[in-house]
Amino acid sequence: MTNSLLILPGDGIGPEVMAEVRKIITWIEDKKGVSFDITEDLVGGAAIDEYGTSLSDDTLEKCQQADAVLLGAVGGPKWDDVDYAIRPEAGLLRIRKELDLFANLRPAIVFDALIDASTLKPDVIRGLDILIVRELTGGVYFGEPRGIEDLPNGEKRGFNTQTYTTSEIERVARVAFDLARKRDGRVCSAEKGNVMESGRLWREVVTALHERESFTDVELSHMYADNCAMQLLRNPHQFDVLVTDNLFGDILSDEAAMLTGSLGMLPSASLGAADPDTGKRKAMYEPVHGSAPDIAGQGKANPLATILSFAMALRYSYDQGAIADDLEQAVQNLLGKGIRTADIMADGCTTATTSDMGDALLSELDAIHQKAQAA
């Protein structure tokens, strides 16, 4: 069986971090006998330059066909003035929507070796492991009507619509409950039901599903999103799985990411519904960090978030959980040795370039692999 993978490096640091993932994939093919059928294409600003749009129909079709898509990052000042409809972000949003990738998994994990990289006190964040499940294809990101209109008095009015249906809420809540069962068994659902009808419905539907589909072994709690933002800083350990809508998820996941000290470390997975016949889900994996145009092309970017995103692909799309475990362990080992890119630099550590980091990770993988073979 071949594992098809579409790589979309995108803009800014996307291409250079992706080059490191390529090294890892080659290593896996050589040492683990798992092969990948890789296609590469353009997205975001790079696609605007080449195809005149941030996601061409042809590229979208490749996304539909692939077992998984691995995306670097999109955007940069170069495209600040392009038509809003074809801006780099629009390409990313179109993939999410067209592939119906409604469940966005964003783990926020504190690595022991990086505990000092966080602005929070070590005691508050030590051992932290939160999984944010963000709804990704609904809400105010896609709600209609939307637009900017002219008012008779000469003013303009910008408007967007926050909307959620029962089934949209149910399917993402189900993912959160299922994942909680494999973790610490706790789900907190965040909305603004004190202000928004869509939030009231969200809470009602999540509560009903919890009962009806017998997720009662999972502990469910609810929080208003603003309180949740505060609680994430006050006592993040109270959270295991956090399920929330598209906009609150965007914000809370950035906040949770910063608890860990570096966006350069955090992966994500965006999953669609399981195919009833094959059980396979459409999927896209991407680092949580952006395109970081200010450091692009200088060998300063941290490739670990993208590499860890590929580890998520190994787990969720390619059924290679054991290799994903090795890869994650290799990251821990590497950090333990004090090898760091600038974003996670600390006293007494060694500065590594993007490609040094990839090479060092390969050495760690080799070591883990040899140890396992010797055993």
Residue 240 interacting entry, from Mg ion, ligand IPM, none, C-beta within 5 to 8 Å by type: none
Helix (H) or strand (E) holding 48: helix 45-51
Residue 89 interacting entry, from Mg ion, ligand IPM, none, C-beta within 5 to 8 Å by type: ligand IPM
Distance CA 319, CA 368 (A): 20
The sign one gets for the Cα dihedral 87, 88, 89, 90 is positive
* Beta-carbon count within 10 A of 54 CB: 30
Kindly report whether the peptide bond that precedes residue 276 is cis, defined as omega within 30 degrees of 0.
no
Catalytic residue among 141, 164, 316, 318: 141
What 204-208 contacts at long range (C-beta under 8 Å, 24+ apart), as own/partner pairs, is 205/166, 205/169, 205/170, 205/173, 206/169, 206/173, 206/243
Q: Is 141 a catalytic residue?
A: yes
Q: Are 69 and 6 in contact (CB under 8 A)?
A: yes
Q: Is 192 a catalytic residue?
A: yes
DSSP string over 165-179: -HHHHHHHHHHHHHH
Least distance (Å) from ligand IPM to the CB of residue 90? 8
Least distance (Å) from ligand IPM to the CB of residue 178? 22
Binding flag, residue 250, Mg ion (CB under 5 A): yes
Q: Is 245 a catalytic residue?
A: no
User: Which 184-213 positions form the footprint of ligand IPM (CB under 6 A)?
Assistant: none
Least distance (Å) from ligand IPM to the CB of residue 66? 19
DSSP 15: H
Least distance (Å) from ligand IPM to the CB of residue 295? 18
Nearer to Mg ion, 286 or 364 (CB): 286
State both tokens at 26. 């080659």
What 81-86 contacts at long range (C-beta under 8 Å, 24+ apart), as own/partner pairs, is 82/48, 86/48, 86/52, 86/53, 86/54
Q: Is 58 a catalytic residue?
A: no
* Beta-carbon count within 10 A of 217 CB: 9
Binding flag, residue 135, ligand IPM (CB under 6 A): no
Residue 301 main-chain phi, psi, to 5 deg: -65, 145
Position among 4, 22, 62, 89 found at the interface with ligand IPM (CB under 6 A): 89
Least distance (Å) from Mg ion to the CB of residue 274? 26
Q: Which of 232, 302, 239, 296 is nearest to 267 (CA)?
A: 302
Binding flag, residue 245, Mg ion (CB under 5 A): no
DSSP 347: T
Residue 313 interacting entry, from Mg ion, ligand IPM, none, C-beta within 5 to 8 Å by type: none
Catalytic residue among 129, 254, 325, 356: 254
Residue nearest to Mg ion (CB): 250
User: Which 305-364 positions form the footprint of ligand IPM (CB under 6 A)?
Assistant: none
Least distance (Å) from ligand IPM to the CB of residue 348? 33
Q: Count residues near Mg ion (CB under 5 A).
A: 1
Q: Is 254 a catalytic residue?
A: yes
Binding flag, residue 250, ligand IPM (CB under 6 A): yes
Residue 41 interacting entry, from ligand IPM, Mg ion, none, C-beta within 5 to 8 Å by type: none
Nearer to ligand IPM, 48 or 323 (CB): 48
Residue 343 interacting entry, from ligand IPM, Mg ion, none, C-beta within 5 to 8 Å by type: none
Stretch that binds ligand IPM, among 20-28, 85-93, 223-231, 340-348 (CB under 6 A): 85-93
Distance CA 375, CA 369 (A): 10
Whole-Å CA distances, 75 to 18, 78, 314:
16, 8, 27
Nearer to Mg ion, 218 or 256 (CB): 256
Least distance (Å) from ligand IPM to the CB of residue 106? 8
Catalytic residue among 49, 80, 116, 226: 226
Catalytic residue among 41, 250, 326, 343: 250
Nearer to Mg ion, 160 or 329 (CB): 160
Burial of 314 per CB tally in 10 Å (0-12, 13-18, 19+): buried
Residues that bind Mg ion (CB under 5 A): 250
Residues that bind ligand IPM (CB under 6 A): 89, 92-93, 250
Residues labelled catalytic: 141, 192, 226, 250, 254
